[in-house]
Chain A
């Protein structure tokens, strides 16, 4: 399994724990605005855990994976990881403050987090699209490479 996939899957597992801890926190501290915390819980679970695991496993298992390790050989996968997780962290930080504070800084940070996550998805689609291949295409591409 390539390093980038291991990173995706381990980060996904951390998000799984964090999202459940957040859910426990929500149940015990109901005075905190739920409109902020409930979407955070769902996004930590669906994007941080499930989507991140899907991305990590597909980058590893789909045909046409680059054999070399490192940022240069796996640029799109690394950019997906960096943009997705920076976006998620910025969202977790900024989301409560958008509701609680009047500072525009938090609104800008929240918007930036959304754009970072979308950019991550675009990088991922560009990485995976050419790797959706039939057996014939895979054999042809292998011959071309060798």
Chain B
């Protein structure tokens, strides 16, 4: 498993634990009200679990498991794959900061980074979606 995948999958497991923990707080609050501000965690919970867990785990695993190139760098441009990891996680963190600090501009910057990350992933993996069986 390449180092980029290992980082993404480890990050995603951390996000899964944090995201579900926030879900527990909200569900317990539904049963035994703690504080009305608990519902402010909802967008954080969604961002962490969809981007941090599901999307990050999927991209990390795909980078590892898709068919490799027969010539040159086996998984394509290394710098591209690092940019995917960095842009995705910076985007998630900016979104989380936007929710916590209440600065919508950070959320927009985060979304742009997440879009760049996904676009880079698609670009660098398009040709890996292939079969070498004739």
Measuring CB to CB, which residues of chain A are less than 8 angstroms from any residue of chain B?
A: 46, 50-51, 54, 58, 61, 63, 91, 98, 106-108, 110-111, 113-115, 117-118, 121-122, 124-125, 128-129, 132-135, 138
Measuring CB to CB, which residues of chain B are less than 8 angstroms from any residue of chain A?
A: 1-3, 6, 9-10, 13, 16-17, 20-21, 23-24, 27-28, 30-32, 49-50, 53-54, 57-58, 61, 65
Q: How far is the CA of A118 from the CA of B16 in the complex (A)?
A: 9
**A125 touching B17 by the CB < 8 A rule?**
yes
In the bound complex, residues from chain B placing their C-beta under 8 Å from that of A134 are 1-3, 6
Known: A46-B54, A110-B31, A114-B28. A125 touches B23 (CB 8 A): no
Q: How far is the CA of A91 from the CA of B1 in the complex (A)?
A: 36
Q: A128-B13, A132-B1, A132-B9 are in contact. List 12 more A-B contacts (CB 8 A).
A: A46-B54, A58-B57, A91-B27, A110-B28, A111-B31, A111-B32, A114-B28, A118-B21, A124-B13, A132-B10, A133-B6, A134-B1
Main SS of chain A's interface residues? Answer: helix
Question: Closest CB of chain B to A132's CB: distance in Å?
Answer: 5
